[in-house]
Structure 1
Amino acid sequence: MRTYLITGANRGIGLAITEQLLARGDKVVATARQPAEAQALAKLAASASGRLVVVELDVASPASIATLPAQLAKADITALDVLINNAGMIGPKRQSTLDMDFDGFAETLAVNTLAPLRVAQVALPLLKAAKGSKILTITSRMGSLSHMTSDRIAYRTSKAAVNKVMQGLSTDLAPEGIVVAVAHPGWVKTDMGGQAAAIEPAESARGLIAVVDGMTSGDVCTFYDYSGQIIPW
């Protein structure tokens, strides 16, 4: 049994990953901004035989992220095998290079780029306590610099930036035996992806779990999609 920490696990892809990990016997620390309202997680916890721990975390708040180690200690979590940075946002309604909501742009960067690094840093002692631990950050193909597309530019920029951050983190954590990667989850039927999207959360989750399972210490940071294919940076 491995222990996973998943941010934004109360719905969508994060919830689907949580469900599938619990089904195969793993332990999950699932974060939500408002755990009391995370009814799907509460239902899972009731049948998870103690293998699901739900903690409060608002990735937009550095102060909230700073409380994570104390919450994990209170839950008697002494090591983490895998961190999945899943929480994210699409960004403001106005995010064109010609008409930008700059406050919304800054919030998008804070949530999609800075928060995954903040969470990784506070979780690092527990990741070091496990052998062969892994960090997977959910990114997007929209952040690939090979795509000359300008819609949703705040979102695209935040994902391109987090890709670079995770490359750097991978280099710095390699001596610790911790492997880091990023993955595009596909166009998924979630609140963010919309109901016109191509795939269900369960399909994306299966692929992302397979990506995590295939990550091996010593790997260089790689940009995957949920099917395991490599995406150009």
Structure 2
Amino acid sequence: MPTVFITGASRGLGLEFVRQYRADGWDVIATCRDPSAAPDLTATGAEVHALDVADDAALSALGRALAGRTFDVLINNAGIYPLKGPQGSFGDIPVDPWMECLRTNVVAPWKVAETFVANLEKAERPVLATVSSKMGSIADASSPGSVVYRSSKAGVNMVIKGLSIELGPRGIICLSMHPGWVQTDMGGPHALITPQESITGMRRLIANASPADNGCFYAYDGQEVPW
């Protein structure tokens, strides 16, 4: 049975990833900060571990606990959107939340890859997929605001590009994925698509990924997103 490892799986996109992979018979290893506060996740029957991806010691400990396991797919889904509204506007952006956002959204995906690269190398066609956002596309940026989140997603796109260069020779396909504007706590009720639609599309990207896709940035519907 193939195995997928998913970070940030307590709700939203991460939880839907877990549900869909479980429904298809995959072994799912899921993480969240506090499993005791994630009843929907534990109800899926997935193997659940506590993990704050920005906590180096916790990440290293989980890496040791899962050493020797095979990951066919690793999904960097954990991320935060710390500032909304006026606090995210020019002239009113506090530094600490910005640094926290960069730590979680940019640095952590690289450290997760370093921690579990040996698990991926054990698979026949390993894929390391990271949930980014079209909001990180520099070519697409045309409106003010949300610079904290936008900069973090632009940063993680460079991380994925860097990982594709590092890990491509090891046979690992690295993807950056735009989930669309999704009806989650982050996307809000007026978003355009459901979590089911988004995850179905991103799972299709992962399933069909070839070495030619290594280091690419795709939307959930298969369209390539400009950097």
TM-score bucket of the superposed structures, by smaller chain? over 0.9
Name the amino acid aligned to 1:53: E
Unmatched runs of 5 consecutive residues or more in structure 1 = 46-51
> Hey, what's the Cα distance between the residues in 1 that align with 2:18 and 2:208?
18
Secondary structure in 1 matching 2:44: helix
User: 4+ residue runs of structure 1 moved beyond 6 angstroms?
Assistant: none
Q: Given the alignment, which residue of 102, 106, 109 partners 1:109? A: 102
How many angstroms does 1:99 deviate by?
2.1
How many angstroms does 1:197 deviate by?
1.1
| 1:179 equivalent in alignment to 2:170 | no
> Hey, what's the Cα distance between the residues in 1 that align with 2:214 and 2:198?
23
1:8-41: per-residue Cα shift (whole Å, max 9, x none)?
1111111111111111111110101111221112
Change (3 A) 1:97 1:55: same
Q: Given the alignment, which residue of 59, 71, 82 partners 2:65? A: 71
Note if contact 1:188-1:199 (Cα within 8 Å) is conserved in structure 2. Answer: yes
> Hey, what's the Cα distance between the residues in 1 that align with 2:138 and 2:198?
23
Provide the aligned length of Structure 1 versus Structure 2: 224
Match of 2:14 in 1: 14
> Hey, what's the Cα distance between the residues in 1 that align with 2:181 and 2:225?
15
1:47-103: per-residue Cα shift (whole Å, max 9, x none)?
xxxxx2111111232222222213324xxx611111100011112242233321111
| 1:54 equivalent in alignment to 2:45 | no
* TM-score (normalised: structure 2): 0.94
Q: Given the alignment, which residue of 72, 79, 99 partners 2:92? A: 99
Match of 1:49 in 2: none
Q: Given the alignment, which residue of 136, 140, 143 partners 1:143? A: 136
Aligned-residue sequence identity (percent) comes to 42
Match of 2:119 in 1: 126
Of the structure 1 ranges 217-226 and 11-20, higher mean CA displacement relative to structure 2 is found in 217-226
Secondary structure in 2 matching 1:137: strand
* RMSD (Å), alpha carbons: 1.3
Match of 1:84 in 2: 75
